[in-house]
Amino acid sequence: MEFVNPEGLRLDGRRPMEMRQLRAEIGAVARADGSAVFEMGNTKVIAAVYGPREVQNKSQQSNDQALVRCEYTMANFSTGDRKRKPKGDRRSTEISLVIRQTMEACILTHLMPRSQIDIYVQVLQADGGTRSACINAATLALADAGIPMRDLVTSCSSGYLNSTPLLDLNYLEDSAGGPDVTVGFLPKLDRVTLLQMDAKLPVDIVENVMQLAIEGCKAIATYIREVLLENTKQLEYRRGL
Amino acid sequence: MPEEGEKEEMVTPGEVLGKAADLKAGKGAYVAPYRSSEIQYVFSSLTGLRHTLTPPSDSPDQRPTVEVIGHKARGAVPEAGSVVIARVTKVMAKTASADIMCVGTKSVREKFTGVIRQQDVRATEIDKVDMHLAFRPGDIVRAVVLSLGDARAYYLSTAKNELGVVSANSTAGETMVPISWTEMQCPLTGQIEQRKVAKVGS
């Protein structure tokens, strides 16, 4: 099947190095300490952060750093066929672990000992790249909650179909069977914190595809920073400063 | 109202605030080497306005402190040395338990438990203190936090003139009037009850 036609356009009309449209909203869940909705094209994800708060399970309490917990779920209506098991299945458990490790490396946990930070991410609409959208939404929600972080973690996926590196795969391109590389990146510190790939990729192409995803991450970081600054300005105006 | 000439910059996590050699990292900032170089820089860890504080003139380190003030209202947390207002919940032979409600002037979001031990009630004759003649359940006390205490409660102390019971209800249910540093009187019945009273006002 042709994923990149002779004119260089993909199935949804994008160019190979073009990302889908981004949209972010902060403060969607008023009761949570921090929350955000993040959209990458048709993929829509909501994240809510509670913390730092007292540890519920005293046996897991750590004396020198905060405990970070993460739960990834997909809403029943998020995919074409109604999902029967929204959480607890292997894929959700794996993605929960991945998001937790990525965010834990970025949060300054030593500043909040004996406390707990809960990150809940739910996919409302899935169209490929849910993992990346979840990490971006979690970053926004953590920044909204005022939890100290080293940098904004951003994530983007890339692939390699019809001998072309493609940025930000949607569901059709993802299920084509080609490689799907997900990168988690700290833009200001210039560090990769997450790198996952499924399927196989020749060694000489890996570098290119990963670099493309990193460029996508940098673009997302610029957008996230703008959204955060705009949101903070609005709050300052409302407080009369 | 923003002051003219004092442009306060809005920053996001990860942004560079300056070199560690020129600035000290305050709240909302941290020090780390920049990318792969050896030079230490100060980075922001929160989203908010960046403030620079001038150092006191007598300190050996004359670097200004840079801090980032976030917009989220954080509930207050008791720290050693802070004055708190607490409500007494349980009075036992050698200790009294209290729920900390305010730290300084800010109220707390989450409940904190404090304990006042027999030797911390007052400064003189500390082993002759009768807890039931110092506090009763329901009293509002002003205390100072001695330390973070054990896993269950903060350690509080009322061993100063201005610390102790600030407001208490008599057995009749009326708010009592302090008479001396050990007694309070009910205005309705005239009954005098013993408490460790705080000296309020000058």
Report which of A149, A148, A212 is spatially closest to residue A180, judged by C-alpha positions: A212
Q: What is the pLDDT of residue B101?
A: 93
Taking the Cβ of residue A192 and every Cβ of chain B, the question of whether any pair is shorter than 8 Å is answered with: no
Spell out which residues of chain B touch residue A225, defining contact as CB-CB under 8 Å: 12
Per-residue burial over A169-204, b = 16 or more CB atoms within 10 Å of its CB, e = otherwise: bbbebbebebbbbbbbbbbbbebebbeebeeebeee
pLDDT at B196 over 70: yes
Per-residue model confidence (pLDDT) at position A131:
94
Per residue in A212-223, pLDDT (tens digit) is 999 999 999 999
Mutation choice for B interface testing from A31, A62, A154, A189 by most B CBs within 10 A? A189
**A140-154, B70-84, B121-135: the lowest-pLDDT one:** B70-84
> Chain A residues with CB inside 8 Å of B1's CB?
241
B2–chain A Cβ distance below 8 A for any pair: yes
Can you give the residue range of the structural domain that contains B28?
9-74
Decide if A218 touches B, using CB distance below 8 A. no
For residues B149 and B174, membership in a common domain is answered with yes
Residue B39 in contact with partner chain A when CB distance is under 8 A:
no
Average pLDDT, chain B: 88
List Cβ<8 Å contacts ≥24 apart for A18-22: A18/A167, A18/A168, A19/A156, A19/A167, A19/A168, A19/A216, A19/A219, A19/A220, A20/A129, A20/A168, A20/A170, A22/A220, A22/A223
**Range from A225-234, B31-40, B128-137 carrying the lowest mean pLDDT:** B31-40
pLDDT by residue (tens digit) across A196-208?
998 889 999 999 9
CA distance A45 to B93: 56
Regarding whether B29 and B109 lie in a shared domain, the answer is no
pLDDT band at residue A21 using 50, 70 and 90 as cut-offs: very high
pLDDT for B7 equals 59
Percent of chain A with pLDDT over 70: 98
Residue B2, pLDDT > 60, answer no
The reply to whether B114 and B190 lie within a common domain is: yes
* B91 belongs to a structural domain: yes
Q: How far is residue B202's CA from residue B186's CA, in Å, rounded to a whole number?
A: 23
Q: Do residues B99 and B188 both lie within one domain? A: yes
Q: Where among B74, B108, B127 does a domain terminate?
A: B74
- Distance CA(B19)–CA(B33), nearest Å, equals 10
Give pLDDT, residue B183: 93
**Sign of the four-CA dihedral B12, B13, B16, B20:** positive
The 10s digit of each residue's pLDDT in A163-197 is: 999 999 999 999 898 999 999 999 998 999 999 99
Predicted confidence (pLDDT) per residue in A42-79, tens digit: 999 999 999 888 888 888 888 889 999 999 999 989 98
Based on the fold, state whether residues B24 and B100 are members of the same structural domain: no
User: Could you report the per-residue pLDDT of B10-65, keeping only the tens digit for each?
Assistant: 899 999 999 988 899 988 899 988 877 788 999 999 998 898 888 888 888 888 89
Tell me if B200 is assigned to some domain.
Answer: no
Question: How many domains does the structure of chain B reveal?
Answer: 2
State the Cα–Cα distance between residues B85 and B104, nearest whole angstrom: 8
Contact call for B12 and A149, based on CB within 8 A: no
Question: Phi and psi at residue B81, in whole multiples of 5°?
Answer: 100, -10
What's the pLDDT band for B70 if we cut at 50, 70, 90?
Answer: confident
Average pLDDT of every residue of chain A? 92
* pLDDT of B1: 40
Give the model confidence (pLDDT) of B156-170 as tens digits: 999 999 999 999 999
Q: Is it the case that residue B6 has pLDDT exceeding 60?
A: no
Which residue, B53, B74, B95, sits at the end of a domain? B74
Q: Residue B16: which CATH number?
A: 2.40.50.100
Catalogue all structural domains in chain A, each as residue range(s) with its CATH number: 22-239 (3.30.230.70)
- Taking the Cβ of residue A110 and every Cβ of chain B, the question of whether any pair is shorter than 8 Å is answered with no
Within 8 A of B74 by CB-CB distance, chain A residues are 146
Final residue of a structural domain among B20, B54, B74: B74
The predicted model scores a pTM of: 0.78
